[in-house]
């Protein structure tokens, strides 16, 4: 006895689509839980470590830099603090707040 040909555009097609969707959801759940999740956690930890290192280096530069560097860094710190508190206002003021003066050798 032969099996009837499935009706792909009818009820059988809907069953195939539902089975395929269930398989995709299960595969995505597996990939997200066992492949991506550990990597995301590792990247977040690495990012946190890099941010701590950056803060230490900025502080060292601020302590040991010249007066001009300290003034520029203070402006940068102020802009960063403003950006954390009000990102929209900081975006509007960014061109005026962070302006690097021309060095003495650049003047013509």
Q: Compute the radius of gyration of the chain from its Cα atoms.
A: 29
- pLDDT of 108 over the 90 cut: no
Structural domain boundaries in the chain: 13-54, 65-101
Instruction: Tell me the per-residue pLDDT of 76-105, one tens digit each, with 9 for 90 and over.
Output: 888 777 777 777 766 666 555 555 555 555
pLDDT in tens, 11-66: 888 899 999 999 999 999 999 999 899 999 999 999 999 999 998 998 888 888 88
pLDDT of residue 75: 83
């Amino acid at each position: 006895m032969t099996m009837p040909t499935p009706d792909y555009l009818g009820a059988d097609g809907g069953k195939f689509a539902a089975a395929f969707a269930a398989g995709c959801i299960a595969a995505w759940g597996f990939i997200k839980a066992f492949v991506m999740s550990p990597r995301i956690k590792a990247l977040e930890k690495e990012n946190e470590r890099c941010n701590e290192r950056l803060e230490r280096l900025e502080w060292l530069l601020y302590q040991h830099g010249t007066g001009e560097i300290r003034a520029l860094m203070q402006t940068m710190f102020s802009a960063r603090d403003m950006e954390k508190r009000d990102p929209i206002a900081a975006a509007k003021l960014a061109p005026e707040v962070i302006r690097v003066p021309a060095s003495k050798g650049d003047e013509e």
